[in-house]
Amino acid sequence: MGDMEIPSNSMPQADTANGHIHNESISNGHASNGLRSDAAMPIAICGMALRLPGGLTSPKDLWNFLLAKGDARGRVPNSRYNVSAFHSTDGKPGSVATEYGYFLDDSVDLGALDTSFFSMTRSEVERADPQQRLLLEVARECFEDAGVTNWRGKTIGCYVGSFGED
């Protein structure tokens, strides 16, 4: 995918982006860089960054949390909704059955995104979904953790795992 350009301000849906990337990068069984698309390529995991429930913000935090057999379960934060007003164990319509879950720390500064790093204007950052801004910030941390400074135009990636509906 070396020569394919995707504008930095585009925010396509996953299925649309997947189709576009597939159509642009696959031609007669070869990737756009001339390699066979089914060729086994070595990979290296050089950096890691994360945001997890329980205030975990680094691989070291995660490791220590796992060693301590921690549990990041917590009460629904007030910033989400008034859980007391909706909690009911009798299953009545419009209620929630639990007061607890696994939530990211509310102290994450979503306005701190480095606009120049991502070639985004302040207006684009302000209009971006807070979770997208957080994702970009964690991706930047992943590059930093890997020691990657000259990444533009390189065939590298940042793989993301996410869960949840909100």
pLDDT higher than 80, residue 29: no
Is 0.75 topped by the overall pTM? no
pLDDT higher than 90, residue 61: yes
Return mean pLDDT, the chain: 78
DSSP the chain: -TT----TT----HHHHHHHHHHHHEETTEETTSSBTT-------------BTTTB-SHHHHHHHHHTT----EEPPTTT--HHHHB-SS--TT-BS-SEE----TT--TT---TTTTT--HHHHHHS-HHHHHHHHHHHHHHHHHT----TTSS-----------
pLDDT one-digit tens code per residue, 116-143: 778 888 888 888 888 888 888 888 899 8
pLDDT one-digit tens code per residue, 76-104: 988 888 999 999 888 889 889 999 999 88
